[in-house]
Every structure is written in C-alpha cells, then in structure tokens.
A and B are shown apart, each in its own frame.
Chain A
Amino acid sequence: MFPPVPNPTTAPQGPKFGEKDLMRRSASTVTPPAERQTEVAKLIDVSKCIGCKACQAACIEWNDTHPEIEENVGVFENPHDLTPDMFTLMRFTEWENPETNNLEWLIRKDGCMHCEDPGCLKACPAPGAIVQYSNGIVDFVHENCIGCGYCIKGCPFNIPRISEVDHTAYKCTLCSDRIAVGQGPACAKACPTQAIVYGTKEEMKKHAEGRITDLKSRGFTNAGLYDPPGVGGTHVMYVLHHADKPEIYAGLANNPTISPVVEAWKGVTKYAGLAVMGVAAVTGFLHYMVNGPNRVSEEDEEAAERLTGDRSS
C-alpha cells in the first residue's frame, strides 16, 4: 500500500511551479532554473491493473473532454485508440506464455510517458508550444500550437493526437494543473487497486522495487521497472511482470529512443541547410563584386543587326 496523496486544503493557494521552472521550451532557448524541482513520476503497476477504466473516466472528467461514442468491434479497448479527447487508454493483450502455456491477460494504461528527453519537444517548430518543467512534466501549450503534427513524428511512443476541431495537439498533461496545487493526477486518484500511484520519482522507484520483489517471489522472474534510458528515463513508469519483453504489452517500445531520422532532421539538416543556402547567396554576391555584371557589348548588338539585316533584306 502506497500512501495516496492527501486531499488538498480548501484554502486557495498559488501554483507550485510555472514559467520560472521551465527546463526546455520548444523552438526557443531558455536558461534552465538553477535549482531543479523534485522530479515527480506516475507509476503504473501493470500486474495490479484490473482493466476497470476508472482512470479513463477520471481523465475524461477532469480534463472535460468528450470522446466520441464508437462502434463496438468486439475488443475491450474503448475508444479504439488515443484521440484528441482521450489522453489515456487501457490496451488489452491476450498473451500465451510459452513457458507456462497459460493465457495471460495483459492490460497496459497507454498515454504520454513524460520523457526526460522529449522527442515531441525536439521536433516542435512553434516557440513555446511544448514545455518541460523541472519536475519532469512535459506539457502542450495550446495557444502556441500550430497543429503541424511534428510532435507526432518526434514521439517514440505514438502519443500526441491533433484535434480536427481546433487544430492543436493533445496528450496527457500528467494533470499538471492538479499537481501544481499539490494534488495527484486524476487517474491515480481514481484507481481502485493502486495500480496507478503518484509521488516523487525516487519514491516511485522505491515503491516499484518492493512490487518487483513481490512479483519475483511469485515466479515472475523477469519482473522489472520500465524507465527507458534511451529517452533519459520517463516520468511515467511501468512495473511489468515481463520487463524483458515490453513489446508484448500492446507494442510497448523496447528501448525507445528519438528516431535517428528525427535527430538528423532537427540536427545536422537544420544547420547544414542554412549553411548551404547562405553559401549560395554569399557566393553570388562575391562573384558579382569580383567580376561585375555580364553585359552585352555594342559589337554584339551590331553583329545581331548585321545578321538580321543580311537575311531579311
């Protein structure tokens, strides 16, 4: 049992973090704060999840979104995928364990992982549309978003979705507005089995250790924590009973990193590209300065007159 975040006081209070705590801001340079806030994290213990979708309901309620009612096609996912109105989604997998021949029902709550090295932010061209706070939360700022969809290409987890209504990108905020006033995320608060818990990243890692020890003692020898180092670690972590193969959990990325294609696009291409265009312009300028214009001479005109005169007369 992890002690849940206590209910807040009813007295009004100021936000615990804001503009001054920005570590990164898309398409802008910011000076990171001298002192980092304590990193927070959400821990999702897949082995304790019962698939009730209370987290989804809580997410919809808190964020006041209205996911469309869809067709039932005979699967448990509802809606069928993350949408601009559904920031988190229980993904269900029926997996037959080849060692035990047991059918295992794997349920993973999908959503933004709040990467320490966020690919969405790296890809974003709009200044301030994506920000990262020093407590680890990666947030989308809608008034700065231009709806280009570059974040989708940057994300190693396929999370952001563009709204067709306001043409901006949406994803889990880690309930930054709740955390700012000392509460936990809505999904964690609603979870009836404490499969979702929230606290500092250190606390979450420690709590996960206990869970992993427990799972190992029950025969899940490969139980472990999913905090992928390829993206610098995440501020949403999973306890997996089969941490050696995360892909069986509805395709959870095994050792995710920002795609090298995105790195090349946002790295060398950006600088080499400006250089190539700059060199072309400067070369032209210098060529003109050195050689001067290329002019038609009087003799050229006379030669043309002679040519046309000869033939036409």
Chain B
Amino acid sequence: MSTDTEHEVGKGDSVHAGKPVTVDRYTGGARINHWITAGSLVLLALSGLSLFHPRLFFLSALFGGGQLVRAIHPWIGVVLFFSFLGLFLRFWKLNLWKREDGTWLARVRDVLTAHDERLPEIGKYNAGQKLVFWSMSILIIVLITSGIVIWDEYFAAYTTIEQKRWAVLIHSIAAILAISVWITHVYAAIWVKGTIRGMVRGSVTGGWAWRYHRKWLRELVDKPAAKDEKRTAAE
C-alpha cells in the first residue's frame, strides 16, 4: 500500500546518485526548527540546573544572575514548547511504532556493539530515535504544565501551595529525565559518524542511509516522481 511507504519517508527526503550517493534527510525548515529547539533546551538545562542544586547556582551568572534566571527561564520554556511542537508535527508520523522496531530493540546488544548488519532494515527512524522522540514529547508536556504551575510571576493565584509543591517536584524529576534523554540523543549523534551532517547540512551519505536506515533508502530510491523532480532541479 502506498500510504505505508509514505510513512517511511519525510517531506523533502530524496536521493541523489553520485560518488558517494547523498540523501536529503532534513529540509532547511526542519533544521532551523531543530536548532532553535536545541538551543532553548540547552539554555533551559543550564538555567534550570542553576536553581536545582546549590553547587550549580554559579551557572546563573551566564544569564546575568539569579533574578534574571528566574525571569527568563519560563520564557525560554515557552519558546521550547512551541519549537518542539513544530518538530512534533513534522516528525510524529515517521515515529509511529513499527513491527521491526521491536526486533531492533530486542537486539540492542548488536546496536551497542555496532553490528548493524544483524539488525532489521529500518525506516527513517530506528526504535532508539523513536523512544527519544516520544519520551521528549511526553516530558515536554509535563515540563510546560508543571512549569506554568510554578511560574509565580503570572500564575501564582491559580493553584494552591500544595499543588505548587508537587509541581516543582515533578518539574525537577521530568527535567532530570529530559536532560538524560538529551545526553543519549547527543551521544548517539556523536557516536554514529555521519549523523550530525544530516542536521547541519541536511543530507547524509548513501552509505549512512544504507547502513542505518536501509528501508528508508530503498523507499526513497523507489519513489521515482520525487527523485526525478529533485534530480532535474539539482542538475
């Protein structure tokens, strides 16, 4: 069925023959969207950690002191929420769970030892990436909700102190998890060489796609209309 194929490739994904083959993975819009999210997440982590543990309070100097951290942290959170919402709308379909994801996850030992040849063929995202996507989606909803409850400057009157106590506890636990997921995400991108250029320049090599996302590559190659269009545009 054609709809199934469409789920595996994103808008703007296409293959360019050559040596090496290059594969467009992220459009300019997706990359800008991603880096706004990334930047705000880093700023949120630094400012949030400065209020999380006394030993990290020195981080508040990066933002011009504690008063400024208190004032801007929630606003960066608003930026992150809407920016991530953009990513969510772009990528949620491609992150739906597929049968091969279970197999991939069951062979996590092969994943971690880089025996990618023993893994099933994977669409645009593997199970690890999907888990990062969905856990971040959930955590960001938890963070923005609990964050608004403790945003005393504007919302102090709407909740009780007991609710705020719970919110601040939930907010810090969700933030710890989100930072840990972020560490995993960044590490995976560093570990799997050739990944970062996908989000920087927008394209990956054919070998990269073949090795890690072969199902995605095959479907792109089989998608003649889009490919021809792109080729004429590129040539």
Contact = CB atoms under 8 A, between A and B. Distances in A.
Interface of A: 27-28, 125-127, 144, 146-150, 152-153, 158, 162, 167, 259, 261-262, 264-265, 269-270, 272-274, 276-277, 280-281, 284, 287-288, 291, 293-298, 300-305, 307-309, 311-312
Q: Is the interface of B mostly helix, strand, loop or mixed?
A: helix
A152 B153 CA distance: 13
A308 B206 contact: yes
A158 B161 CA distance: 8
Interface in B142-187: 150, 152-153, 156, 161-162, 164-166, 168-169, 172-173, 176-177, 179-180, 183-184, 187
A297 B207 contact: yes
Interface string B107-129: 00000111010000000000000
B52 A273 contact: yes
Interface in B183-208: 183-184, 187, 190-194, 205-208
Interface of B: 15, 17-21, 50-54, 57, 60, 65-67, 69-71, 112-114, 116, 150, 152-153, 156, 161-162, 164-166, 168-169, 172-173, 176-177, 179-180, 183-184, 187, 190-194, 205-211, 217-218, 221-222, 227, 231
Contacts of B17: 305, 308-309, 312
Contacts of A269: 169, 172-173, 176
A173 to B, nearest CB: 21
A301 B67 contact: no
Contacts of B71: 167
Contacts of B177: 276
A270 B57 contact: no
A270 B206 contact: no
Nearest to B204: A296
B205 A301 contact: yes
Given A144-B66, A259-B165, A293-B193, 11 more contacts: A28-B54, A147-B67, A153-B161, A167-B70, A262-B165, A287-B191, A294-B114, A295-B194, A304-B205, A304-B206, A305-B206
B184 A280 contact: yes
Contacts of B69: 146
Contacts of B169: 261-262, 264-265, 269
Given A150-B168, A293-B191, A297-B207, A125 B156 contact: no
Contacts of B152: 148-149, 152, 162
B134 to A, nearest CB: 18
A160 B17 CA distance: 67
A122 B218 CA distance: 58
A125 B47 CA distance: 12
A276 B176 contact: yes
Residue among B19, B165, B179 having the largest count of chain A Cβ atoms under 10 Å: B165
Contacts of B192: 293-294
Contacts of B187: 284, 287-288
Contacts of B161: 152-153, 158
B217 A307 contact: yes
A276 B180 contact: yes
6 contacts: A153-B161, A259-B165, A293-B191, A295-B193, A297-B211, A301-B207
Nearest to B194: A296
A306 to B, nearest CB: 9
A12 B18 CA distance: 89
A62 B57 CA distance: 34
